Amino acid sequence: MDTIFALASARGKAGVAVLRLSGPRAHDAVVALSGPLPAARRAALRRLVWEGQVLDEALVLLFDAGASFTGETSAELQVHGSGAVVQSVLRALAGQDGLRLAEAGEFTRRALENGRLDLAQVEGLADLIDAETEAQRRQALRVFSGVIGRRAEEWRRKLIRAAALLEATIDFVDEDVPVDVVPEVRDLVESVLEDLRSEVAGSKAAERIRDGFEVAIVGVPNAGKSTLLNALAGREAAITSEIAGTTRDVIEVRMDISGYAVTLLDTAGLREAQDAVERIGVERGIGRAQRADLRVFLDTGETIAGIAPTDGDVVVRAKGDLHGTGVSGLTGQGVDALLEQISARLEQMTEGAGIVTRERHRQFIMAAIGAMESARVEVERGPARTEIAANELRVAIRALEGLVGRIDVENLLDEIFSSFCIGK
């Protein structure tokens, strides 16, 4: 296996840059640059020298196989963070036999292959790196910690137990199986089904935290939508004028509202369009507003064409500076209160968010639910359907293997023998 290396910190000038190595020659490569090695997990200051030239003074940190991020023999070089220093050390590493520059994501892939991370943790790590807001950080860190794998393993153990009970009645029909297994099988399946359904129910909220929410500002022409968008964004993101119909397309601004990633949408003024171009803008505005997670209606007393508030939408008086109440993007009146309303709605929408953050997770769980529901029906039909029920549970277990590791027949046999003392 090749030993790989790469810059692990961000590119550009910095106080410190971190170079990472992983593979069988990682420690040898460091010896070639720095001489004697420190003890594993003990940082030491070393002068890096290559072909008689001093490259830098760096902190050297070593990790033994099985005790590193990738699970392989690894090392880190913490060098001064100038581009010249980083490039000189990278060239020196590339000049050694058996070393090559890592491909994108290769360190994490090796961690997955070596059992240091499961696939859900890899996804959590990717989300953690991409996190823009506090809510995204918290959720990604939770997934990266292995919560999906732990829960999936718990569900898997219960299904293995249920399958083992059914297998006992099939394979050892002539033995003295001491109890009726159906009540326990039923309880195990119901327990897992309840958990999985709860996760599916919370998956939409979890996905919105990861991907971000869309909040559309809706109103008639010249209601102050673009001015409000600029006030919320803190910059001139949209052109404003007193001419009705200035906004012809949907304008998007990404921002952080109380720790949630939000894309604010400034839609075209909704009215009976005066020309073909405005008609297209109105249609796009209605469509995006309907698909948004939340709508903020600026009420001027006029009827807004094509869309009406629904439960949960925010309705505020437009141009509050002229009326004394409501919101005004021009003066800032009511803007903080509006942000609090939006934040409160987002909090409500994320209540009950589960650990299922991706469509891939949801599909595997839905497949397991379908198989378990079939197994439950077959169990209730009686002993003649036991083999079919056991097969459906095996299908459910395989579905959960999308989140955890593999399962083989030995797991079922171990459970059978330990529970029923069969084989005496």
As annotated, the binding site includes: 20, 76, 116, 222-227, 241-247, 266-269, 424
Per the annotation, binding residues for K(+) are 222, 241, 243, 246
Across 117-130, b (16+ Cβ under 10 Å) vs e yields bbbbbbbbbebbee
Dump the DSSP string for 274-332: SSHHHHHHHHHHHHHHHHSSEEEEEE-SSPPTT----TT-EEEES-HHHHSSS--TTT-
Q: Are 314 and 338 in contact (CB under 8 A)?
A: yes
Amino acid at 237: A
3-state secondary structure of 20: strand
Quick one: the chain helix, strand, coil %, rounded to 5? 50, 15, 35
Helix and strand element counts for the chain (H, E): 15, 11
Cα–Cα distance between 54 and 56 in angstroms, integer? 6
**CB neighbours of 6 closer than 8 A, spacing ≥ 6?**
19, 20, 101, 102, 106, 107
**CB neighbours of 196 closer than 8 A, spacing ≥ 6?**
155, 365, 368, 369, 372
Per the annotation, binding residues for (6S)-5-formyl-5,6,7,8-tetrahydrofolate are 20, 76, 116, 424
Residue 80: CB atoms within 10 A of its CB come to: 17
Q: Is the dihedral angle over the CA atoms 234, 249, 318, 275 positive or is it negative?
A: positive
Q: Are 21 and 76 in contact (CB under 8 A)?
A: yes
CA geometry: angle 22, 23, 25, nearest 5 deg: 110
Per the annotation, binding residues for GTP are 222-227, 241-247, 266-269
Cα–Cα distance between 143 and 207 in angstroms, integer? 12
Q: Are 137 and 41 in contact (CB under 8 A)?
A: no
| Nearest of 302, 300, 334 to residue 318 by alpha carbon | 300
